[in-house]
């Protein structure tokens, strides 16, 4: 891998999903996620869920964005603000059609003045509504949000269908933290790649936009000018130049004394500075 961060494409880390197939675990990521990330100019970096991978996370850097998608059920005993409640199980199940995950839809109400509303704004205004129909894959949901997060959408039963951090959302500056309860990348008309709404694409477009912006910020912070490499001849000339400067300093300070340095040494100094200037101009031109 090149050490020059400026030529590394924006990279999105994606943790794979693990499932059991023929008595063996298989790690994978849905192709729709990968297609959209690549289409908008970033490189997906898939992290397998294998033993010891945590010790290797540094080797995946640089990482400019993280996408957590899909996955198996979460143990409701974990303290992560999610749970599967038996008392509410019927409400969650009403969002799902196990025989037609991709085709089934349920309504969600989108909150105004949120990124989600902006992405689906044209569709909402054309229909004169504040609702869209989304797909149904989950039977777990967010019970309560941390204080930093703000809801962006609700199902009819009150389930939070989207949230974001308003203090960490500005794609132009590389800021993007949010979560969705539905899968916009899979909201497509039957037997077609046409999306239900144009806003489905904006989810990934704005995410990758922020990834690219973050990479640019990182490049500026980590960019350090490299010193010019000198060959043996140039190093010798540099020594002569330093001696010439030292002699000139002594002459200026004392106002007397004879200069033992040969005139040719000063010519070498001028030649060296002229060569260094040409290299500097050439380097700056290639980096602009």
Which residues are tagged catalytic?
Answer: 88, 183, 185
Tokens of 127: 């229909």
Residues contacting 88, CB < 8 A, separation 6+? none
Burial class of residue 183 in the structure, from the number of CB atoms within 10 Å of its CB (0-12 exposed, 13-18 middle, 19+ buried): buried
Q: What is the three-class DSSP state of 126?
A: helix
Q: Is the peptide bond before 62 cis (omega within 30 degrees of 0)?
A: yes
DSSP state, residue 96: -
Contact between residue 135 and residue 182 where contact means Cβ atoms under 8 Å apart: yes
Contact between residue 130 and residue 124 where contact means Cβ atoms under 8 Å apart: yes
* CA–CA gap between residue 53 and residue 31 (Å, rounded): 22
Name the pairing type of β-strands 65-67 and 11-15. parallel
């Amino acid at each position: 891998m090149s050490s020059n961060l400026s030529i590394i494409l924006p990279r999105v880390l994606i943790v794979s999903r693990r499932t059991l197939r023929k008595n063996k675990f298989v790690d994978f990521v849905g192709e729709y996620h990968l297609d959209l990330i690549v289409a908008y100019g970033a490189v997906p970096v898939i992290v397998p869920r294998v033993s010891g991978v945590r010790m290797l996370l540094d080797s995946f850097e640089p990482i400019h964005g993280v996408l957590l998608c899909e996955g198996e059920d979460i143990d409701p005993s974990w303290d992560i603000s999610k749970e599967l409640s038996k008392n509410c199980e019927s409400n969650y199940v009403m969002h799902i059609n196990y025989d037609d995950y991709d085709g089934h839809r349920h309504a969600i109400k989108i909150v105004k003045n949120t990124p989600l509303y902006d992405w689906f704004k044209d569709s909402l205004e054309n229909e004169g509504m504040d609702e869209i129909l989304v797909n149904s894959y989950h039977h777990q949901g967010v019970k309560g949000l941390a204080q930093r997060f703000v809801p962006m959408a609700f199902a009819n039963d009150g389930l939070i269908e989207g949230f974001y951090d308003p203090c960490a959302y500005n794609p132009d500056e590389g800021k993007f933290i949010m979560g969705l309860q539905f899968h916009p990348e899979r909201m497509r008309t039957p037997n077609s790649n046409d999306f239900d709404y144009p806003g489905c694409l904006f989810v990934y477009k704005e995410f990758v936009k922020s990834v690219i912006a973050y990479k640019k910020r990182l490049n500026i912070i980590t960019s350090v000018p490299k010193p010019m490499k000198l060959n043996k001849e140039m190093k010798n000339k540099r020594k002569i130049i330093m001696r010439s400067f030292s002699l000139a300093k002594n002459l200026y300070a004392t106002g007397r004394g004879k200069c033992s340095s040969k005139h040719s040494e000063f010519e070498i100094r001028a030649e060296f500075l002229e060569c260094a200037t040409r290299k500097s101009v050439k380097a700056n031109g290639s980096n602009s």
